[in-house]
Amino acid sequence: MFENLKPQPADKILALMQMFREDPREQKIDLGVGVYKNAEGVTPVMRAVKAAEKQLWEAETTKAYTGLAGDPAYGDAMINLILGSSVARDTIAAVATPGGTGAVRQAFELIKMANPGARVFVSDPTWPNHLSILKYVGIETVTYRYFDRETRGVNFDGMMEDLKGAQKGDVVLLHGCCHNPTGANLNLTQWQEVVDLLNAQGLIPMIDIAYQGFGDGLEEDAAGVRLVASSCPETLIAASCSKNFGIYRERTGLLMAVANDASGQALNQKTLAFLNRQNYSFPPDHGARLVTMILNDDALRADWAAELEEVRLGMLGLRQSLADELQRLTGSDRFGFIAQHRGMFSLLGTTPELVEKMRVDAGIYMVGDSRLNIAGLNAQTVPILAKAIVDAGV
Ligand code: LMR
């Protein structure tokens, strides 16, 4: 049997992680995988997470199974964080999932169950694993224009034109904030135009939100998803706690299905629980429990939000210094977009050849599509990266 297996394509982000580990150079800089690192290059356990873990260790009396949807209190806390009061609670079905990827995978499976003919429209570019999972699940994918390679902003006219080609029942995958990999995001006026188009054409929005709090702030980053969920009859939302709680390895995510009214909610809830049971039965609980404790305790929540805000402002500062340094070296504003982008990433918009040249010549690791993780930088490495960008002739 095993002889029939064919090698599967390597995930380019994870392959880069491995290459970085194997590079013996001391000066190497890791701007690859989307993991936050502080100025010392460490991915810290957030203060509130440590405190919650301590409390949990003392108070937890059992490790028996939770429910198939996870602890309902986790669903409630996350729904509140992401949607606030924008949508009636009794229309929302929610299940805990193993990370944001688990939520994305379950959402695609739900789409396939509900409408096997639906196509999923994805931004060009998008997170490569979206495409890989869609292919694996067997869903037809259509790309819509998104990144403007001239301005390095959103090609909004192109996006809208391409979405007009979607048919009733097709799904449109949107990034809730901090677009991965580009860093270029819709403004609220554009979100509203997208909502109008979705509703006019009977399209179903699916939102992947993995970086809430890394862009313009916790509330601001949720504005698009709130607008969509409160204006469209049905919405799927895949959320991750990996980045904003810094609990990557705990695999903590949530899938929500927002129905038109309360009558659709019960069936959605049962379907999501069924999908959990088929794929992995009970979702992991440790990370979800920490998130619930933090969100439901005023002091822990305030400390978490403050630390997240420090992280966000730190990344904004790094964006500005990189843009300033490139301005100084080139005498032009053509890298000003780095300061305008939001989230963990910016897409430089250069060729794989120049990305490879920077890796070989200067030990700079960014994803081949020229996505760089801003959090991989610090005050010392900003000038090194800026020089490497200029030396490579980007
Ligand atoms: C990324 O885009 O680098 C992260 O979401 C990590 C991953 O799983 O790819």
Q: Is 243 a catalytic residue?
A: yes
Cβ–ligand 1 contact at 390 (below 6 Å): no
The amino acid present at 2, given as its one-letter code, is F
| ipTM here | 0.94
Q: How far apart are CA 380 and CA 29, in angstroms?
A: 11
Q: Report how far apart, in Å, the C-alpha atoms of 155 and of each of 60, 148, 158, 184 are.
A: 50, 5, 5, 10
Q: How far apart are CA 259 and CA 66, in angstroms?
A: 25
Q: How far apart are CA 376 and CA 40, in angstroms?
A: 10
Judge contact between 141 and 118, C-beta under 8 A. no
List the domains of the chain with CATH numbers.
Answer: 11-44+301-392 (3.90.1150.10), 65-296 (3.40.640.10)
Cβ–ligand 1 contact at 13 (below 6 Å): yes
Cβ–ligand 1 contact at 34 (below 6 Å): yes
Q: Is 127 a catalytic residue?
A: yes
203 CA → ligand 1 middle, Å = 27
Ligand 1, residue 210: give the atom nearest the CA.
5
338 CA → ligand 1 middle, Å = 20
196 CA → ligand 1 middle, Å = 31
Cβ–ligand 1 contact at 33 (below 6 Å): yes
Which residue has the CA at smallest separation from atom 2 of ligand 1?
Answer: 34
CB atoms within 10 A of CB 127: 24
N residues, the chain: 394
Q: Which of 30, 123, 127 to mutate to test the pocket of ligand 1 (most atoms within 8 A of CB)?
A: 127
| One-character DSSP codes across 262-307 | HHHHHHHHHHHHHHHHHHTSSPP-HHHHHHHHHHTSHHHHHHHHHH
CB atoms within 10 A of CB 262: 12
CB-based burial label for 378 (10 Å; 0-12, 13-18, 19+): middle
What does the pLDDT profile of the chain (394 residues) look like in tens digits?
999 999 998 888 999 999 999 999 999 999 999 999 999 999 999 999 999 999 999 999 999 999 999 999 999 999 999 999 999 999 999 999 999 999 999 999 999 999 999 999 999 999 999 999 999 999 999 999 999 999 999 999 999 999 999 999 999 999 999 999 999 999 999 999 999 999 999 999 999 999 999 999 999 999 999 999 999 999 999 999 999 999 999 999 999 999 999 999 999 999 999 999 999 999 999 999 999 999 999 999 999 999 999 999 999 999 999 999 999 999 999 999 999 999 999 999 999 999 999 999 999 999 999 999 999 999 999 999 999 999 999 9
